[in-house]
Amino acid sequence: MNDILCKKCELSLPPSEFKADPRYKRGFTSWCHDCHRERNREWYRDNRKQQNKKAVEWRKANPEKAKEVWQAFHNRNKEKRAAQHADWASRNKDKRRDTSAKRKAAKLRATPKWVNWKKVRAIYTQAKRLQEFTGFPMHVDHIVPLQGENVCGLHWEGNLQILPASENISKFNKWDERVQKAYDQPDLFVAPPMPATQEGFDL
């Protein structure tokens, strides 16, 4: 089939560069894919605040569907996102160190006296073994995040779970009744443990 003239950029392009649409006489849209994408980006920039608000409302009303959409997007762009993250991290080592320090500090502030460090280290060790066995990145995740938007959990063995990295990234912050009892304990927090007990943090 002969090339088609895009009525936006006025370039003659192969039919594959256009969306098929029987409503048009020639069977394709009048604008090419690139022109449509550029117009969509311009519209989004002009209406970003309104669209972000609608997106937030939709995610709240459809949490399971939102999780599926995010997971599908992550799977389609896994390698690209990993490369982008690695590139950003290499150019922002100071910010990475700052984030890491803040997270470690948050763990210490959220550590109850009755935490079982042996069990905590065992969970991190098991995650490392699973990663080596399966070949997939594994995360030790806080069921209730230490720095959640609405709630903050504790750093103890009952609030830890091992998840594939992709699932952990897509997980929404939520309250879990399994750790509610932790907040009913008297003299809740303990001073930071000795460094030897924090080996699991760096696995």
Give per-residue pLDDT as tens, 124-173.
888 888 888 888 888 888 888 877 666 778 888 888 888 887 666 555 44
Amino acid occupying residue 176: D
Q: What is the pLDDT of residues 6-41, one digit of tens each?
A: 999 999 999 999 999 888 888 899 999 999 999 998
Considering only 28-32, 61-65, 74-78, 97-101, which range has the smallest mean pLDDT?
A: 97-101
* CA 104, chain centre distance (Å): 19
Q: Please check whether residues 108 and 198 belong to one and the same domain.
A: yes
Residue 110, in any domain of the structure: yes
Residue 6 has what pLDDT? 92
Instruction: Show the domain range for 16.
Output: 4-46
Tokens of 134: 């399966």
Residue 11, in any domain of the structure: yes
Residue 34, in any domain of the structure: yes
Residue 38 has what pLDDT? 92
pTM, entire model: 0.40
Residue 8, in any domain of the structure: yes
Q: Is the pLDDT of residue 174 over 80?
A: no
Q: Is the pLDDT of residue 183 over 80?
A: no
Beta-strand (E) ranges in the chain?
4-5, 12-13, 138-142, 160-164
Residue 1 has what pLDDT? 61
Residue 115: CB partners within 8 Å, gap ≥ 6?
A: 154, 155, 156, 157, 190
Residue bearing tokens 């690209």 = 80
Residue 143 has what pLDDT? 83
Query: What is the tally of structural domains in the chain?
Result: 2
Whether residue 158 contacts residue 164, with contact meaning beta carbons closer than 8 Å, is answered with no
| Strand 12-13 relative to strand 4-5, pairing | antiparallel
Residue 198 has what pLDDT? 40
Residue 171 has what pLDDT? 56
Q: Please check whether residues 182 and 108 belong to one and the same domain.
A: yes
Residue 64, in any domain of the structure: no
Q: Please check whether residues 187 and 109 belong to one and the same domain.
A: yes
